[in-house]
Structure 1
Amino acid sequence: MTIILMILVLLAVYLIWYTVFRKSDLPPGPLKLPIIGNIWWLAMQKRRKVRIPVALCEVAKKHGDVIHFQVGKENIVFLQGFDAINEAFVNQADDFSLRPDRLTKDIQKQGNGVVMENGNSHRVMQSFIMKYLNSDTAIVEKRILVEVEAATDFLSSEKGGSLDIKLLLSMMVTNIIYNVLFSKRYDYSDETLHKLINNLGTIFKSGSQIDATALIPTFILKLAKNEKMTRAKQETAKAGQWVKDQVIEEIANHEATYNESKLRDFVDVYIMERKKDPKNDIFTLDRLHYVIKDLFVAGSEASSVSLNWAILYMQEYPDVQHRCQRELGEKCADRIVRLTDRGALVYLESTLLEIQRMSNVAETTLPHTTDKETSFRGYCIPKGSIVLANLLSSNKDNRHWDEPDLFMPDRFLQDKAKKNPAFIPLGLGPRRCLGESLAKKEIFLIFTNLLQRFTFQRENENVKHTFRCIDGQLTATPLPYKTKPVKRQ
């Protein structure tokens, strides 16, 4: 009886505080409970097996495009729909472009890369990376096409048998970024490549450089702590150390063989920049490891998952696949498809854009924060709030798309639709995806050249595969499927 009375008193005190002292101009959102805030809502979505971005679209119908959550003492704001996202991350970019450093405290003790960095070091490093990735398209194209040829041999050896193509796509994309960074690639049977893919996968599933547990009250973490969480943390640390050792070895080899008159790759260009001013505290060797880690994540996960979706859509929509192949035959015949063909392959490009819109690989942005109390759409966004954009809500925003839930490549054939600003598969504003330019090249060249050489069919032509995602992953990844790559004559 005493416990019940204490609970009722606590609830009464909370309701008084909530009514009298709570800021009245905060954005609306689901019911917040004493102490735990909206943790109950997040737990409910997990129990329902509903992905948070999908659940947010339901919440937005009641509360609008700016939604406030509370996790413990943390304020979290989700932006819904293109208009709100663009207004915050582009029009008010100065207010919303910082990263919350309290989510990366453990990593900052060792050193930051670029994705979660702030201030001048972020601006300088981001500019340097993007300039390099866009500097020599011919070399990037060559590196991608090397993997296309290797994948062609791999698929041809299957002789029309069914396979899970996810691993092949991961090997291709990982080799490309490794080649960009270190001028080196691995054979698809090499154990080191498989270890690299597995360890990067472990790091990515953990949230990469983000420690979301920093938002949750300590007492709740202690209650929830179990052997599974402990083991996952240990596995992530082990994977991170393996990748770090691999990268440090490559950097050491580059330092030993560096030749300023013959720059080979990203690491060489970084070393050259460092040698211009050895006292520069931005281009340090310690930072290089973390920058490379960011590039591995930015340059591999989104591309390989997008390509995985692309093959699935082709086998499930054979008419679309045949139309793409017909256009390839008309424009490129049997020669290798190159980046210069992009403007000519209008239907194929439209198909790729529609697959990216439908699959929504990056459903939400990485967290942003506010360094001061900020006014947005008439609401008060408290200082230090975590701000995230639900990209799914923009790519399927019925205010900007006709029948957004239908797969219709033709929608991108019209000039008006092709320029639709609501299409933001990898974010927008100053914090848009670091590897976007490389990802676009990879996806186009791999998809077109594989489609030119193979037709992808269902393992069982009478059994449709679902377009649902794997639960519990940061990226929207299709459930495992097998495809039959049939070599075209």
Structure 2
Amino acid sequence: MAFLQHEVYLLTVKSVIVGLIALFIATWFYRRPRNLPPGPTGWPLLGYLPNLILAGDEYKSLTRLAKTYGPVFSINLGGTLVVVVNSFASIKEALSHPNTAARPPTSFYKKITHDPDTLGVLTASGDSWSQQRKFSLTVLRGLGVGKSSFEVSVATEAGCLIEAIKEHGDNPFNPTHLISNAVSNVICSITLGQRFDYSDPKFQQLLKLLNRNFELLSGGGAYSCLPIMDYLSFTSIHKELQTNARLVVEFIKECIDEHRRNLDANNPKDFIDVFLRDISENDTKNVQSHITADNMLLTTFELFAAGTETTASTLRWALLYMMAYPEVQARVQRELDDAVGRDRLPNMADKPQLPYTEATILEVQRLASIGSLGLAHMFSKDTSLLGYDIPKGTMLFANLWAVSRDSSIWSDPDRFNPERFLDEAGFLKPREEHLPFSTGRRVCLGERLAKMELFIFFSHFLHQFTFKKPKDVQQLSFEANNGLALTPMPFETCAVPRK
């Protein structure tokens, strides 16, 4: 009798659980807005999140889903509705819409600054974002970023990097440390007004912390902005992310404090100086502004982090492809020798005479697809877009990697072929479908700087060296670390000086 009662009890509990799940699913479908893009249903409560995590390489998984559901589809990720756009046309239209310029709320910075609601220019939305972006662009232009006057700073750093590479002779070395330091020095000269020696132990530690965070934010950052992740703040990964970010922010805060002590408001030398001057002026005039000390701190951190890792990783991919395609490397070198000669280094004025060199950089960017999913956007209002009705608060992923491999745009898309960016006469042929800096209202803030850095560093590399695969390496790997950016696996190269 007791056994039967126990069985009945278990049956009742199971029935209640099944009933609750069925009720939840029915309620979810009932409440699900009409005219949403199609998409997979996934699991109760968690939606498609477990499928995406288990499959890995999220950008590839989302590309496969687009083959089933079309270039625009929707998925539930841990209770959050996400719309994914996968084609050039849908990405261009979606990211150009004024209602998609917002970022999803994030709690990542809450314990890093005095004001828990503070956000930098990359993570802010609304008036805070528009004011910080306008200010940042104005300051960067005022400091000469992207102009010929700033080229000297980039070329000087490239020269330091060339000399550091020469110290390795013909011996194999991992270029990660040197390239990261050089690229970071460019953004440091803009934001902090100084550069750091390649052997500076404190700065090397900071770069390692940044690199580690880019690795920890897996899936192109697709998960970091999901509200469900707030419940995982106790995990070792989340704690490490917070600790690493806090250490870098504390370093920047020390630099800001030093700037504050030595500020000459009439002669600002860098981004922080201008920021401090404007904060002081706003305080004096009692003007309410989003140009605040905490915002400045986080904006500087974001410029420092983004301005280092993405460009440095692209240059590492470039070296990897040059080792794998020596015929491309040789053709770039012939073009450099013909247009520039051997008596001086290339400069930005040479760019029009170096179409194949630039085409090679563009092809590296296309295949590397560093920002596979870009940064997540959010719909700030109920919006009719791409034939669908999308509710306020829905997140938006732009699958930039899918566009970089779209066979309807690029013939044989997995093949490394710089000629796809040249016309029949051999002149550079820019392609609007090429989206290494994303597109729309939140296109990359540092696009002009990154383009200058990539051209100067890459052309200097190949003007001075031939990069070869070490003799003991059987095969080069093009597998990517799928973190916040797609970065190459660690590798070594031999930089053979050219005569």
Same fold (TM over 0.5): yes
Farther off after superposition, 401-410 or 233-242: 233-242
What is the aligned partner in structure 2 of residue 242 from structure 1?
A: 247
What is the aligned partner in structure 2 of residue 253 from structure 1?
A: 258
CA distance in 2, matches of 1:18, 1:254: 54
- After TM superposition, list the pairs within 5 Å mapping 1:42-53 onto structure 2: 42-46=52-56, 51-53=57-59
What is the aligned partner in structure 2 of residue 343 from structure 1?
A: 352
1:398 aligned partner, one-letter code: S
What is the aligned partner in structure 2 of residue 365 from structure 1?
A: 374
- After TM superposition, list the pairs within 5 Å mapping 1:252-271 onto structure 2: 252-271=257-276
- After TM superposition, list the pairs within 5 Å mapping 1:180-191 onto structure 2: 180-191=190-201
Q: 2:444 aligns with which of 433, 440, 448?
A: 433
CA distance in 2, matches of 1:383, 1:103: 20
Q: 1:172 aligns with which of 182, 198, 203?
A: 182
What is the aligned partner in structure 2 of residue 140 from structure 1?
A: 150
Displacement of 1:221 in angstroms is 4.8
TM-superposition CA deviations, 1:127-167 (whole Å, max 9, x none): 22223333422453222122212211211111110011111
Partner secondary structure for residue 387 of structure 1: strand
Displacement of 1:322 in angstroms is 0.4
What is the aligned partner in structure 2 of residue 94 from structure 1?
A: 98
Gaps of 5+ in 2: 1-9
State the number of aligned residues.
476
Partner secondary structure for residue 398 of structure 1: coil
- In structure 2, the CA distance between the partners of 1:401 and 1:239, relative to structure 1 (3 Å rule), is same
What is the aligned partner in structure 2 of residue 419 from structure 1?
A: 430
Partner secondary structure for residue 303 of structure 1: helix
Displacement of 1:480 in angstroms is 1.5
Q: 1:325 aligns with which of 310, 315, 333?
A: 333
Q: Is the 8 A contact 1:97 1:430 kept in 2?
A: yes
1:295 equivalenced with 2:295 (yes/no): no
- In structure 2, the CA distance between the partners of 1:84 and 1:156, relative to structure 1 (3 Å rule), is same
Q: 1:444 aligns with which of 445, 455, 460?
A: 455
CA distance in 2, matches of 1:214, 1:58: 23
Partner secondary structure for residue 342 of structure 1: helix
CA distance in 1, matches of 2:261, 2:473: 58
- After TM superposition, list the pairs within 5 Å mapping 1:18-29 onto structure 2: 22-29=32-39
Displacement of 1:420 in angstroms is 2.0
Partner secondary structure for residue 487 of structure 2: coil
Farther off after superposition, 322-331 or 19-28: 19-28
Displacement of 1:486 in angstroms is 0.4
1:358 aligned partner, one-letter code: L
What is the aligned partner in structure 1 of residue 281 from structure 2?
A: 276
- In structure 2, the CA distance between the partners of 1:70 and 1:322, relative to structure 1 (3 Å rule), is same
Q: Is the 8 A contact 1:75 1:382 kept in 2?
A: no
TM-superposition CA deviations, 1:201-253 (whole Å, max 9, x none): 234345499794663548x957xx8xxx6333332232223222221221122
CA distance in 2, matches of 1:102, 1:243: 19
1:307 equivalenced with 2:318 (yes/no): no
- After TM superposition, list the pairs within 5 Å mapping 1:160-239 onto structure 2: 160-207=170-217, 212=223, 215=226, 217=228, 221=231, 230-239=235-244
- In structure 2, the CA distance between the partners of 1:20 and 1:292, relative to structure 1 (3 Å rule), is closer
TM-superposition CA deviations, 1:171-203 (whole Å, max 9, x none): 111111111112211111111220220122234
- After TM superposition, list the pairs within 5 Å mapping 1:106-125 onto structure 2: 106=110, 109=116, 111-125=118-132
Partner secondary structure for residue 353 of structure 2: coil
What is the aligned partner in structure 2 of residue 62 from structure 1?
A: 68
Q: Is the 8 A contact 2:98 2:441 kept in 1?
A: no
Displacement of 1:4 in angstroms is 4.5
Farther off after superposition, 100-109 or 367-376: 100-109
TM-superposition CA deviations, 1:7-34 (whole Å, max 9, x none): 5434543554466554342211123222
CA distance in 2, matches of 1:86, 1:61: 19
1:30 aligned partner, one-letter code: P
1:387 aligned partner, one-letter code: L
2:61 aligned partner, one-letter code: A
Report sequence identity in percent. Answer: 29
Partner secondary structure for residue 301 of structure 1: helix
Q: 1:453 aligns with which of 464, 467, 491?
A: 464
TM-superposition CA deviations, 1:82-115 (whole Å, max 9, x none): 010011112xx21211112255573661521111
What is the aligned partner in structure 2 of residue 374 from structure 1?
A: 383
- In structure 2, the CA distance between the partners of 1:174 and 1:261, relative to structure 1 (3 Å rule), is same
Displacement of 1:40 in angstroms is 2.4
What is the aligned partner in structure 1 of residue 42 from structure 2?
A: 32
Q: Is the 8 A contact 1:103 1:211 kept in 2?
A: no
CA distance in 2, matches of 1:214, 1:143: 36
CA distance in 2, matches of 1:349, 1:341: 11
How much is the aligned-residue C-alpha RMSD, in angstroms?
A: 2.6
2:167 aligned partner, one-letter code: S
Q: 1:465 aligns with which of 476, 489, 496?
A: 476
What is the aligned partner in structure 2 of residue 488 from structure 1?
A: 498
TM-score (norm 2): 0.89
CA distance in 2, matches of 1:423, 1:292: 28
Gaps of 5+ in 1: none
Displacement of 1:462 in angstroms is 7.1
- In structure 2, the CA distance between the partners of 1:28 and 1:172, relative to structure 1 (3 Å rule), is same
1:5 equivalenced with 2:15 (yes/no): yes
1:265 aligned partner, one-letter code: D
1:85 aligned partner, one-letter code: I
TM-superposition CA deviations, 1:288-316 (whole Å, max 9, x none): 11110111122111100000100000010
TM-score (norm 1): 0.90
